[in-house]
Chains A and B, each alone.
Chain A
Amino acid sequence: MAAQNLSDDSDESLMLSYAQGKAAAFDALYARHRVGVYRYVLRHCGNAPVADEVFQDVWTNLVRTRATYAPTSRFSAWLYTLAHNRLVDHWRATGQVDMVSIDGDDAANDAVGALPAARADEPDERAANRNIAAHLHAALAKVPPLQRDAFLLQQESGLSLLEIATLTGVGVETVKSRLRYAVAKLRSELGALRELAHR
């Protein structure tokens, strides 16, 4: 009965309950967001052990800062902000931060136009199914971190453009530019896979 009530509660009320000492509320929150956060972290890191560590740090930070949580915005925005900040720390620690960002639409269009054409190799369906995850990770790894971050936030967290902009500390147009560039890059990298997905 209590679990049923918790599953009906919103993320924000669950987080407030947990901050007030209700441990079961955290279980419900974790069950809702563990997969999205993990994929967001894993696709950024590309390395499962590192992703596990970062993922655990994200939730540890949430536990530690539970008393400061205020439901001024969606809980998922706050949660992915914690994840984003932890990833930034990770990038700084590993020297992976590429501060070059293509923010202007024209520049983004130029960059997309300069991408190479889709590869002509067409793996058979079985091989594609077997290696598709590896291709996805490889394609995402080729996207610059900031564009990839915007793309993954859109894919995994379900945040709006404005929320992503707030989370990353840039304007909405910048977020759009990053998304446009990331989608174009992935299209070019995953051209064949996209065809498989269409079938």
Chain B
Amino acid sequence: MNDDRDLHDTALDALLRTHSAETPPPAVDAAVLAAAHRAIDGEMRARPARATQPWRWWMPLAAAAAIGVVVIGILPMAPTLVEPTPPATSDAPTTATAPPPAGTQPIEAARPDTQGTPMARVPVPSTTDRMSAKRDAAPTRERAESATKAGSTPSRPYYQMYRYVPPEPPAAEQDRRANATGAVAAMPQAAPAPQAIRPQQEAAARAPATQVPQEANAQPPRQGSAAALTQPARSPEVLPRTDAMSLEDRQKVAAAQPRTVDEWFALIRKLRSENRVPDAIRALADFRAAFSDADARLPEDLRDWAKTVP
């Protein structure tokens, strides 16, 4: 109570309130308000000025992102570098004495995988590869000519570049083939399954139907299931390849090729009757490759002729 009386004097407060009329001069008011507004205006002007500065922290990031987008978008479209491979096999008649190019290995249509399933190992080119192959396909002749002039290997279509090259067969197998095939063996083999898969196929024929390999199921057999299993599996990828044959052509050829022993005989007879001896020789070679006891199965009319064909 005493404190309040000492700290406040109501008469003094009233006197000060009553006789206090001092106010800041208008000029000072104007100066203060102008300074306050000027500061805000300057700040607003500084903001867009900063926004138009030529350099920004995100510019390196934007440049890196742009480069990344270009690389990701363009790189898959660039032609893929492929190791030059020997010329592909062809259905076109070749001279029997022409040896295969050095390092050339015949395409093995299929080989047993770990599950004993004959699988076509020829890779299907991807979309990117097809694009690059399409670019390469049009001027192939011109490129080949120019490359020949330059003394280098001419470029080939993509389906020649992506051929599957199987591992080296055992030495015994190589010897057997060398003995069994002469000029015919020098010809590129078409597509039938190799001898090596026969045991697996026979084992698969003895197995229950549920264990039939997938690729055998993929193409329904034309005869009984057991007989179909004895036939070599075929797929468009293992068909003979030529420079001019497309995938559809090879599919047609595959459909036309015999699958049974009688069909093989009919085909060989037909080729002989049409005087297409090289084709008949190749068909006989394919028949021999498909069946280990091919010569024993031959009928009389073909057996004599087959003896003349090594």
Interface residues of A, Cβ cutoff 8 Å to B? 18, 21-23, 26-27, 30, 34-35, 38-39, 42, 52, 55-56, 59-60, 63-64, 66, 129, 132-133, 136, 154-155, 176, 179-180, 183-184, 186-187, 190, 193-198
Contacts and interface: CB of A to CB of B under 8 A. Distances in A.
A198 B15 CA distance: 9
Interface of B: 3, 6-9, 11-16, 18-25, 28-29, 31-33, 35-37, 39-41, 43-44
A170 B8 CA distance: 20
Contacts of A180: 3, 6-7
A198 B12 CA distance: 9
A187 B12 contact: yes
Contacts of B13: 155
Contact of B22 (A42, A195, A197): A42
Nearest to B31: A56
A151 to B, nearest CB: 9
A155 B4 CA distance: 14
A154 B9 CA distance: 12
Contacts of B8: 183
A52 B28 contact: yes
A155 B10 CA distance: 11
A21 B32 CA distance: 16
Given A34-B24, A133-B22, A198-B11, 17 more contacts: A18-B40, A22-B40, A26-B37, A30-B32, A34-B29, A35-B23, A38-B24, A39-B20, A52-B24, A60-B35, A66-B39, A132-B19, A136-B15, A154-B7, A194-B9, A195-B11, A196-B15
A21 B14 contact: no
Contacts of A23: 36-37, 40-41
A56 B32 contact: yes
A132 B36 contact: no
A194 B11 contact: yes
A189 to B, nearest CB: 10
A22 B25 CA distance: 24
A183 B39 contact: no
13 contacts: A22-B40, A30-B32, A34-B23, A56-B31, A59-B36, A155-B13, A155-B16, A183-B6, A186-B12, A194-B9, A194-B11, A194-B15, A198-B11
Given A55-B28, A180-B7, A30 B33 contact: yes
A27 B29 CA distance: 10
A30 B30 CA distance: 11
Contacts of B9: 183, 186-187, 194
A63 B8 CA distance: 34
Contact of A190 (B15, B22, B23, B28): B15
Given A42-B22, A133-B21, A63 B12 contact: no
Contact of A27 (B33, B35, B43): B33
Contact of A21 (B3, B22, B33, B44): B44
B28 A56 contact: yes
A38 B11 contact: no
A26 B12 CA distance: 32
Which of B14, B20, B25, B43 is most buried by chain A, counting CB atoms within 10 A of its CB? B20
Nearest to B20: A39
B28 to A, nearest CB: 5
Contacts of B21: 133
A167 B35 CA distance: 26
A132 B16 contact: no
Given A56-B28, A56-B32, A183-B9, A197 B18 contact: yes
